Structure 1
Amino acid sequence: MIWLRYAYVALALFLATVILSPLQIIALWRGWTLARKMPRYWHMVACFVLGIRIHVHGAIETRRPLMLSANHTSWLDIIVLGRVADVAFIAKSEVRSWPIFGVFARLQNSVFIERADKRGTGRQVNSIAERMAAGEIIILFPEGTTSDGNRLLPLKYSLFGAASSAVPYSPDGTVHVQPVAVAYTGIQGMPMGRFMRPVVAWPGDVGMLPSLAGVIRARALDVDVCFGESVTFTADTKRKEAAAEVEGRMRTLLADRLSGR
């Protein structure tokens, strides 16, 4: 029976991709704002066929420019957050060349960062800042890697440079960085403890297909997405202090949700 489920998921995602991709390509080519919204429909289909139930706590900040700072457990985070809001992701440059996922990342108009290109850092940061100033919600995974889902890894504060760089582009001289916690809390209707959370976690030594197969076998997952209070960046903001404040709020959000508080 599991093979039937594999086939069902594969067929559903294939059809969604075939139908939506041409529309997204045209929207990107024409520069339509529809390009920001189209990926959400694909993520809706993916969440449905994978059996992902999303529980949202709090609300997305209404002020702009806005960056969401989220913890990173798995490739599932992208599907979950992409289902919740019309967003664009910051991704490392090598994702661009990944099979399947690289194509999806480009179709979602992700921002690709070349970490080794120190000379191009300013240009890359300014690109993010311009898109935020244009009203796009940008999602940053500041841990810089994936965790086991049970804790928040130390954040790389340098990644918040894009928020600081976006300040001059903002009409009121402020940029808002909102902490977000993505917590995997249930599997097949039962609470997911710390020992079951690796089912959804995607450590670097596990391939994409084995990870996807594990999620398909799980059949039903509950995910809590928690939005915290934003931290405001201005021209006078000290980046490290503001980033530390974001980190503290993320840590509290995640710990509270995983403990059921």
Structure 2
Amino acid sequence: MNTLRLALRLIALIAALLVALPLHGMWRLFRARSPWPRRFLGWCARIVGARAHVVGTPLERDAVILANHLSWIDILLLAGATGTAFVAKGELESVPLIGWLSSLNHTVFVARGQRMAVAEQVEQLRRALAAPWPVTIFPEGTTGDGTTLLPFKPALLAALDPPPPGLRVQPVRIDYGDATSDCVWGDESGQVHALRVLRRRGSFIATLNFAEPFAPDGGRKIVAAEARRRIEAL
């Protein structure tokens, strides 16, 4: 049954892609903002078994979303709920298919760990913040265990100093509830983790708890600390 479940979910993911890609192309042909990356990623979340439960009011533009990070499923859920783009490690851009699909969703690829490149990364993010959709950063820089927040890395938040006019920061706590142990991406390879999730029986509730947004005043360290405080409070 696990093998059959995996096969059916893979077929459904391919079918969703085959529906969304031509429609996305039609929207782009007329230079219109395409809703299809957001819809496709939302569909993918449901296909892998996640049922999003949104608490609070997500911002859909002029916002930086700062969220705890548990799994690649986070990306499907947040994109489906808000239409957000993401900041991701640069290596992802060269991954076949995944890198290309990420670029369709306006992903900002950054070279993490290269201190000399931070200024360029900050400028990339500032340009991305001018777009009419939010941008999500996972400030832990890696996936956690679902129960403890890791230290936040505030380097990229220098893009908010000074903040673009009208921009706000919205912290989000992602919680997979009883499915946390199944969904958290620990020391496994991406392929092993993805296959394990796709073989998982049934569905699960994934709660996206959106905190009250705040103005990013006071510098990157203060912004990171305030976002962390609000996520911990959730």
What TM-score does the superposition give when structure 2 sets the normalisation length? 0.89
Kept in 2, the 8 Å contact 1:182–1:225? The answer is: yes
Equivalent residue for 1:238, pick from 208, 211, 219:
219
Q: How does 1:33-52 map to 2 (within 5 A)?
A: 33-34=33-34, 37-52=35-50
Q: Secondary structure at the match of 1:148?
A: coil
For 1:229, the aligned partner's letter is E
Give the 3 Å change call, closer, same or farther, for CA 60–214 of structure 1 in structure 2.
same
- Gaps (5+ residues) in structure 1? 186-191, 254-261
Cα distance, 1:86 vs. partner? 0.8
Cα distance, 1:27–1:116 mapped onto 2, change above 3 Å: farther
**Code of the aligned partner of 1:230:** P
Aligned position for 2:52: 54
The answer for the alignment partner of 1:135 in structure 2 is 132
Matching of residues 9-88 of structure 1 within 5 Å = 9-24=9-24, 32-34=32-34, 37-61=35-59, 65-88=62-85
Within-5 A mapping of 1:147-226: 147-165=144-162, 167=163, 169-170=164-165, 174-185=166-177, 192=178, 197-203=180-186, 205-216=187-198, 217-226=200-209
1:6-41 superposed Cα distances (whole Å, 9 cap, x missing partner): 11111111111123224435656875321xx21121
Q: Specify the code of the residue in structure 2 equivalent to 1:59.
A: T
Give how far 1:199 is off.
1.1
Listed one character per residue, the Cα deviations across residues 96-135 of structure 1 (whole Å, up to 9, x for unaligned) are: 1123422321221200012345444333322322232232
**Percent identity of the aligned residues?**
31
Structure 2 match to 1:248 = 229
Match of 1:122 among 119, 123, 129: 119
Contact 2:84 2:134 in 1 (8 A): yes
Q: Which range moves more in the overlay, 219-228 or 92-101?
A: 92-101
Unmatched runs of 5 consecutive residues or more in structure 2: none
Residue 48 to residue 103, structure 1, CA distance change in 2 (3 Å): same
User: Which amino acid in structure 2 is aligned with residue 20 of structure 1?
Assistant: A
Q: 1:86 is matched by which residue type in structure 2? A: G
CA contact (8 A) 2:66 2:139 kept: yes
Give the length in aligned residue pairs.
233
Instruction: Answer whether contact 1:24 1:107 (CA < 8 A) is retained.
Output: no
CA contact (8 A) 2:158 2:219 kept: no
**Structure 1 90/28 Cα, relative in aligned 2: closer, same or farther at 3 Å?**
farther
C-alpha distance in 1 between matches for 2:30 and 2:116:
31
Distance in 1, matches of 2:47 and 2:124, equals 35
Q: CA RMSD in A?
A: 2.2
Higher alpha-carbon deviation: 243-252 or 95-104:
95-104
Q: Residues 242 and 209 (structure 1 numbering): CA distance in 2 closer, same or farther, change over 3 Å?
A: closer
The Cα shift of 1:158 comes to: 1.5
Change (3 A) 1:22 1:120: farther
Whether the aligned pair in 1 keeps the contact of 2:52 and 2:206 (CA below 8 Å) is: yes
